Structure 1
Amino acid sequence: MRIRPIRREPKIDMSATFKSIRSVQPLLDRVLVQRFKAETKTSSGLFLPSSATQSPLPEATVIAVGPGSPDKSGVVQPVSVSVGDRVLLPGWGGNPIKVGEEEYHLFKDAEILAKINE
């Protein structure tokens, strides 16, 4: 009996890195969002410790949307949000995308909890 060595696969970073956010076009019912950043400084100029800020914030701005996904009859159903909308996100999920120092996330349209109307 011959024993084969165990092959270890290299760890893969699940976040993607791009040079420009314009190069990312979501497909099907995916929505590209940028989460709001937590305030690290008060209006009077005091810096807040990282333990005092909620991370990540549940609100985000929609940067780009896909065309939608086909239903059972083949008709494409458009996504429920549009570019520029403010949305409420779950605390989990989404695929991170890094563009320079900025971080974005791709979510399925069905994972977005609400659209925030002002």
Structure 2
Amino acid sequence: MRLEPLNDRVILKALMAEETTKSGIVLPGQEKEKQQQAEVVAVGPGGMVDGKEVKMQVQVGEKVIYSKYAGTTVELDDEEYTIVRQDDILAIIK
């Protein structure tokens, strides 16, 4: 199966969360927060959304930071993906 986003939606795959801090402290499972960095897997076509023209500004393969509580999480073929609106993406990591 394959996910194909509609309108201004973007499909993200979370990057692996750090297991240790920069100082070398190992984080137990409950101390880890939801990862807010992800790789763009698919991008919708944009177009007219709520009466406004939307131009997609992200591309497949880019690493991004998105809002903490944004999107819908889905599981497909044992992989977890998050579907968000482009507005929920805060920055592109260069």
Q: Which runs of 5+ in 1 are unaligned?
A: 1-19
Give CA deviations for 1:67-98 in whole Å, capped at 9, x if unaligned. Answer: 0031647xx53211000011111110201110
Q: Which residue of 2 is the match for residue 116 of structure 1? A: 93
Residue pairs, 1:57-68, within 5 angstroms: 57-68=35-46
> Which of 25, 34, 38 pairs up with 2:4?
25
Aligned position for 1:16: none
Structure 2 unaligned segments of length 5 or more: list them.
none
- Detail structure 1 runs of 4+ shifted over 2 Å in the superposition: 39-42
Instruction: Mark the structure with the bigger radius of gyration.
Output: 1
Q: State the number of aligned residues.
A: 90
Return the TM-score normalized by structure 2: 0.80
**Structure 2 match to 1:12:** none
**3-state SS of paired residue (1:51):** helix
Counting aligned pairs with the same residue, the percent is: 32
Cα shift at 1:115: 1.1
- The structure in which a higher percent of residues are strand is 2
SS at match of 1:113: strand
1:77 to 31, 50, 54: 54
Q: Which amino acid aligns with 2:79?
A: E
